[in-house]
Amino acid sequence: MNKYWFILVFLLFTCNCNSQTHTAPQQIKERNELVRVYIEGQGVKDKRVIAAMKKVERHRFVPNNLLPYAYYDQPLPIGEGQTISQPSLVAFMTELLELKQSDKVLEIGTGSGYQAAILGELVDSVFTIEIIKPLGVKAEKLINNLGYSNIFVKIDDGYKGWPEHAPYDAIIVTCAPSDIPNPLQQQLAENGRMVIPVGKDGSVQKLILLRKRKGKIIRETVLPVRFVPMLKEDGGKY
């Protein structure tokens, strides 16, 4: 759901097709090229993450009128003022979580469901929260249609997390609050990892990696980013 990723220059690889002429072989070729150039080429090394990025079909998560751009390395609008993240950032943030198959992951900001699907390829269970009901309903339907029985969607305020299923081995947040929510820190398991953008809307934010060690939170600033804000139930911003 990010708007920009400042560490990358938005170079778009060539796509000589439109939504009517896209075929499965073309989509596979474009997806593999995207992974080769913008994910492996940008330094992502986790083989499981790379395999998931090759497997999950991003074109299923973008609006029909944007299908020609599904395998460009850029965010795309999905309605309701939100976006589907650019694939290289999805891969980068996922790699930071250092996921194991047995992990239980919480995602804040389901959006299109694309990030959740990537996580669903990598871990046993994914709990994902979306505050915008139309997006959450659509994402849940798509996730179910794609056969992900290990992804669970909830329409709610992500700031509060999902305490019923805590603690989580990893938490990924795809919208930016001005401060790191205490409920999410509390729901992080011992030795857990959290990736979250932090900062005010309209400003350059910081992508933060948190680790919980002996009950204490260790923070590391990774890079500057700009994400959509974390929303409250009344439409305000955290």
The catalytic site residues sit at 85
Total residues found in the chain within this entry? 238
The residue ranges of DSSP E strands in 118-204, in sequence order, are 125-130, 151-155, 168-173, 188-198
- Location of structure tokens 């778009």: 12
223 by DSSP, 3-state: which? strand
The CA-CA-CA angle for residues 118, 67, 14, to 5°, reads 95
CA distance 94 to 96: 5
- Angstrom distances, CA of residue 233 to CA of 44, 71, 132, 230, 238: 35, 33, 9, 10, 10
Q: With CA atoms as reference, report the closest residue to 106 among 195, 217, 222.
A: 195
How many other C-beta atoms can be found within 10 angstroms of the C-beta atom of residue 177? 25
- Angstrom distances, CA of residue 14 to CA of 50, 70, 116, 151: 21, 12, 27, 33
